[in-house]
Structure 1
Amino acid sequence: MASLPVVDLRTWRIDDSPAVVDRALRTAGFLLVTGHGIAPDLRAAVRAQAQAFFRLPERTKRPYAVEVGERGWLGPGAEANGYAEGTETPPDLKESLSFAAEAPGGAPPADPEWFAPNTWPAEVPSLRPLVTVYLDRMRRLSDGILELLGVALGEGENFFTRHTTRPTWGFNINWYPGVQTVGAPQPGQFRIGPHTDFGTVTVLDRQQGRGGLQVFTDEDGWQDAPYDPEALTVNIGDLMAFWTGGRWRSGRHRVLPPPVDEPSEELMSLVYFYECNPGTDVLGIDSHRYLREKLNAIRVR
């Protein structure tokens, strides 16, 4: 999928990146960004500590188990993203460590639901300080991306960021084990089933693999997403598409099943979901009511 552009966040104010971004978000809902300032060694360190947790016996991880939309460990079989499209797929072949906004947002009715303490596994004490640094940098990066998107939409740099003064966010560390761990996939089973993200903007640090990310467009159907180890992958979600009146499309994607002929392939993604302030009205849609409904929809019961 060579049509996804690579945008340098250091130069977008003096080049034609806003027009390039507009075209990309009208077709695929995806782009790649460089110049993001997130060091490779930080990303690698977060992965290493998360891997130490995922490698623990299930009985050790079980006390951290939660449901989709909560803070903790999402174990095997917890979620099926295809449900969001109304497709009854088998559960996604992944495990996740899930974190979310902690500091009160200044809107008391929303605070108990959207702002709460995170759960940090005691078995990997180095994870917390690394993730804390990563999340701080992701917040600043995401506001920078939203400034670019505001200009690309023709509305100015603060068009979106004026609604991120007290935002919510979610952060998933997704582990995609190989066949030697999870067994052969069932028919129609993916590491993550086909879906669009639900919110504003997603910033993804991913690894390349045969069982990796695919992006859907009307023109090309499903295609492997281009990979650049120096770049982060950005896609917009449903709320952003609504916000633009349908000018931009929420990026439909999936993560392929683990390859049976490479049973040891396992991947890990760092997925940051950046949202607006609780209660933001997005052209008549209550942003966080919509988010909660979609999160509830992908729970496997």
Structure 2
Amino acid sequence: MSTDIPTVDLQEWRHADLDRLDEIAWAVDLALRETGMFLLTGHDVPRSSGEDLRDAGLSFFRLPRETKLRYEIQGQYDNGWREVHRNVGIPDAAANDDDSAPDLHESFYAGPTHRTGDARADGLFYPANRWPAELPRLRAAADAYTAHMVRVAEQVNSLLADVLELPRDFFNSLSRKATWTQNVSWYPSLARLGQTGTGRMRNAPHTDLGTFTLLNRQPGKGGLEVWNEAEGWFPPVYARDSDTLIVILGDLMELWTDGRWRALRHRVPAPRVDAGEEDEEQVSLVFFFEADPQALIEPLPAPVGGGRGMAPAVAGESILGKLGVPLTPA
């Protein structure tokens, strides 16, 4: 079925024989061609690390608004707090949602501390973090969790190279100082938000901008819907009582594979009042992984690539350009 989403156990992948590696590669390749996602286990990310960050993030979101405003982001590609807002991904052209209506979630963003010595480039691609002085455990929890995410991202890059029968360091060689963003997103209950209007979503339809995203969904909570041509929108099967991560393919990887793989179109609808869900809230941990900002992303030639003839792009310029961030001083 086109709604089947495979699960990859990283520990099994590391020790599998050639026949099993072929089976894993076939399943991942099919899912990325059709939909743009797969599930990930065996990643050795302690559940406690994710829960620490989730709990610290929720403590921040429940601070008074005037306190959170001290840490408000100042641009589209920046770190800090963002109030209930429109998603910064690329809108789905087929969506009928109101572009002026904000999505029903708050976010806190943190990024890497890489520095190149070029102050302008660092300001564009590695914006400084805004850690709240009132909640030092948020920084500690984020640092611990993102160390795991960077490690897992390197393994996912190697896995994707395996699937394409490329050298295992193919993607990692252009991700030595990759840009990335750790997003803690709070979806407040409708009871807390009050009247939200018709058709509003927690997260409107979009694709992500980078190579892939590692999504840590809160156990026991739902909401994510994904799209493919065969099924339209559907909720992917998800092991809610496990430590499963969701790998969401982004725009850069669709470009890199020249359309062989597709960036995942996804959304998070609001809870249904008529189903008694108005008190449901959720905190998601979303790790957006990209590439070195100066890396030239050249679409892979067929038969490895999909043969769409997409134009090469510099990773950082592609991401900032889609966000409307100027690359040159005004």
Q: TM-score range by the shorter chain?
A: over 0.9
Letter in 1 for 2:32: L
Report if the CA contact (8 A) 2:90-2:322 is conserved.
Answer: no
CA distance in 2, matches of 1:161, 1:239: 14
Task: State the 4+ residue runs in structure 1 displaced beyond 6 angstroms.
Answer: none
Please, what TM-score do these two structures have when normalized by structure 2? 0.84
Deviations 1:112-168 (A, max 9, x none): 211233111112111111110111111111000000001111212111111011111
**Which residue in 2 is equivalent to 1:241?**
254
Report if the CA contact (8 A) 1:101-1:170 is conserved.
Answer: yes
- Indicate the structure (1 or 2) with the bigger Cα radius of gyration: 2
What is the SS of the residue equivalent to 1:174? strand
Summarize the Cα distance change of 1:81–1:120 in structure 2 as closer, same or farther, 3 Å threshold. Answer: closer
**Which residue in 2 is equivalent to 1:279?**
294
Report if the CA contact (8 A) 1:30-1:251 is conserved.
Answer: yes
Q: Which runs of 5+ in 2 are unaligned?
A: 299-311, 326-330
| TM superposition shift of 1:266 | 0.3
Question: What is the RMSD of the two structures over their aligned residues, measured on CA atoms?
Answer: 2.0
**Which residue in 1 is equivalent to 2:306?**
none
**Which residue in 2 is equivalent to 1:46?**
53
Q: How many matched pairs?
A: 296
**Which residue in 2 is equivalent to 1:250?**
263
Residue 179 (str. 1) matches residue 194 (str. 2): no
Report if the CA contact (8 A) 1:203-1:273 is conserved.
Answer: yes
Summarize the Cα distance change of 1:22–1:107 in structure 2 as closer, same or farther, 3 Å threshold. Answer: farther
| TM superposition shift of 1:224 | 0.9
**Which residue in 2 is equivalent to 1:92?**
103
Alignment of 1:74-113 (within 5 A): 74-76=82-84, 78-81=85-88, 84-86=91-93, 88-89=98-99, 90-105=101-116, 110-113=121-124
Q: Which runs of 5+ in 1 are unaligned?
A: none
CA distance in 1, matches of 2:214, 2:90: 22
Summarize the Cα distance change of 1:37–1:211 in structure 2 as closer, same or farther, 3 Å threshold. Answer: closer
Letter in 1 for 2:296: D
Deviates more, 1:98-107 or 1:193-202: 98-107
CA distance in 1, matches of 2:90, 2:147: 31
Please, what TM-score do these two structures have when normalized by structure 1? 0.92
Deviations 1:50-87 (A, max 9, x none): 111111111221111124321110012x3245763356
Alignment of 1:84-233 (within 5 A): 84-86=91-93, 88-89=98-99, 90-105=101-116, 110-207=121-218, 212-228=223-239, 229-233=242-246
**Which residue in 1 is equivalent to 2:30?**
23
Letter in 1 for 2:12: T
Deviates more, 1:274-283 or 1:241-250: 274-283
Report if the CA contact (8 A) 2:3-2:234 is conserved.
Answer: no
